[in-house]
């Protein structure tokens, strides 16, 4: 049973908003595009893993947590966690183009692209071994003695894998279901009730990875980010404020709330607080009063004294 489902990573929307607001010739566009592409490939791989386990129906009780991350000292991020009464599986899917070569001493994953380019990544085996150690430690602290095994999954059959060490468990996405279902499980350590309790505890401690604000991460200054309200239909068109609504200068779309997206862009790109003057200037409102009303209407809460008042937005339900 799946007790936590995966959602689209927030950073994908963030990278897209950043590209929309950077001038066409900005030197950081390429770096942002690369981050967007790798985030999309990662999410594509994770969706592939979810599909591969859609008909997972093993002969043993289990709980699945999709997209698990643990903050604090542990710093664990796992694509999918499968908890059983006898052990915990950590599943990590790799969706990297090219011919993949596992290198040792020191460990790395190389991908050879068709154009001869070689890209080097942290070895997923080393990464997952470390994650398994941290997860075991965390479980032990919870009072749970389950052993932890990590499995690396290759998203697509077109990914050719070479040099995988014999002691690492690397599977094709298409065989994960069969492999896990047919696995001979050791004697149960947890009762069914304890299994459910462990699942609930892990969901409770999961903390969403918070990637924002993005502009400082790319060392992009706020002054380089284009302000204003963009059209939700033609995306690159700017919207003009008429008396009551916003109208696109390009496609003439009329919208009442297109500026809510611009506020969302602010929090994703610039910083986690905004004051009324910043809001007025970023969105293109005329008056501070209008900015204040707009912030409150959009779920922002004032913090700090009157003179230095800032507004923050609570994380929204997605």
- CB closer to Zn ion, 76 vs 248: 248
Residue 153: both structure tokens together? 């999954």
Does position 234 interact with Zn ion (CB under 5 A)? The reply is yes
| Contact residue for Zn ion among 152, 231, 270, 300 (CB under 5 A) | 231
| Contact residue for Zn ion among 133, 192, 251, 303 (CB under 5 A) | 251
- CB closer to Zn ion, 251 vs 303: 251
- CB closer to Zn ion, 94 vs 259: 259
Does position 245 interact with Zn ion (CB under 5 A)? The reply is no
3-state secondary structure of 100: strand
| Separation of CA 266 from chain center | 19
Residues in the chain: 318
**Burial of residue 260 (number of CB atoms within 10 Å: 0-12, 13-18, 19+):** middle
Residue 279: both structure tokens together? 């809001």
Q: Is the dihedral of CA 279, 311, 206, 212 positive or negative?
A: positive
Does position 229 interact with Zn ion (CB under 5 A)? The reply is no
Size of the site for Zn ion (CB under 5 A): 8
Q: Which of 235, 253, 233, 254 is nearest to 243 (CA)?
A: 254
Minimum distance from residue 252 beta carbon to Zn ion (Å): 7
Q: Which of 97, 82, 71 is nearest to 4 (CA)?
A: 82
Minimum distance from residue 228 beta carbon to Zn ion (Å): 13
| Contact residue for Zn ion among 253, 271, 284, 313 (CB under 5 A) | 253
- CB closer to Zn ion, 137 vs 252: 252
| Contact residue for Zn ion among 45, 124, 199, 237 (CB under 5 A) | 237
Q: Which of 206, 191, 150, 204 is nearest to 61 (CA)?
A: 191
Minimum distance from residue 259 beta carbon to Zn ion (Å): 14
Minimum distance from residue 247 beta carbon to Zn ion (Å): 9
Residue 252: both structure tokens together? 């003439």
Does position 132 interact with Zn ion (CB under 5 A)? The reply is no
Minimum distance from residue 226 beta carbon to Zn ion (Å): 15
Minimum distance from residue 67 beta carbon to Zn ion (Å): 34
Q: Which of 107, 105, 111, 106 is nearest to 125 (CA)?
A: 107
Does position 262 interact with Zn ion (CB under 5 A)? The reply is no
CA contacts within 13 A on the Cβ side of 225:
29
How far apart are the C-alpha atoms of 53 and 17, rounded to whole Å? 32
Q: Which of 291, 297, 265 is nearest to 278 (CA)?
A: 291
Where does this chain touch Zn ion (CB under 5 A) — which range of 37-45, 222-230, 234-242, 275-283? 234-242
Minimum distance from residue 184 beta carbon to Zn ion (Å): 59
Residues 150-179 that bind Zn ion (CB under 5 A): none
Residues that bind Zn ion (CB under 5 A): 231, 233-234, 237, 248, 250-251, 253
């Amino acid at each position: 049973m799946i007790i936590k489902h995966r959602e689209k990573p927030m950073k994908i929307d963030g990278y897209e908003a950043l590209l929309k607001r950077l001038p066409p010739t900005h030197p950081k566009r390429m770096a942002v595009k690369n981050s967007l592409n790798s985030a999309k490939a990662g999410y594509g791989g994770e969706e592939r893993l979810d599909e591969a386990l859609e008909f997972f129906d093993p002969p043993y009780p289990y709980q699945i947590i999709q997209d698990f991350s643990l903050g604090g000292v542990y710093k664990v991020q796992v694509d999918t966690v499968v908890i059983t009464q006898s052990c915990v599986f950590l599943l990590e899917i790799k969706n990297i183009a090219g011919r993949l070569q596992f290198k040792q001493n020191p460990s790395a994953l190389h991908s050879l692209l068709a154009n001869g380019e070689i890209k080097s990544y942290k070895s997923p085996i080393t990464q997952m071994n470390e994650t398994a150690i941290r997860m075991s430690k965390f479980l032990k602290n919870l009072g749970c003695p389950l052993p932890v095994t990590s499995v690396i999954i290759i998203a697509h059959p077109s990914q050719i894998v070479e040099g995988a060490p014999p002691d690492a468990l690397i599977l094709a996405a298409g065989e994960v279901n069969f492999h896990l279902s047919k696995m001979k499980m050791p004697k149960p350590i947890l009762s069914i009730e304890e299994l459910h309790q462990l699942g609930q505890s892990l969901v409770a401690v999961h903390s969403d990875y918070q990637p924002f604000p993005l502009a400082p991460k790319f060392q992009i200054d706020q002054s380089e980010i284009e302000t204003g309200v963009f059209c939700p239909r033609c995306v690159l068109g700017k919207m003009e404020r008429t008396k009551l609504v916003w109208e696109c200068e390009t496609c003439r779309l009329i919208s009442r709330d297109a500026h809510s997206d611009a506020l969302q862009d602010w929090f994703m790109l610039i910083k986690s607080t905004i004051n009324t003057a910043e809001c007025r200037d970023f969105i293109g409102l005329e008056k501070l009063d209008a900015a204040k009303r707009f912030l409150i209407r959009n779920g922002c809460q004032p913090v700090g004294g009157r003179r230095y008042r800032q507004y923050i937005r609570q994380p929204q339900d997605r």
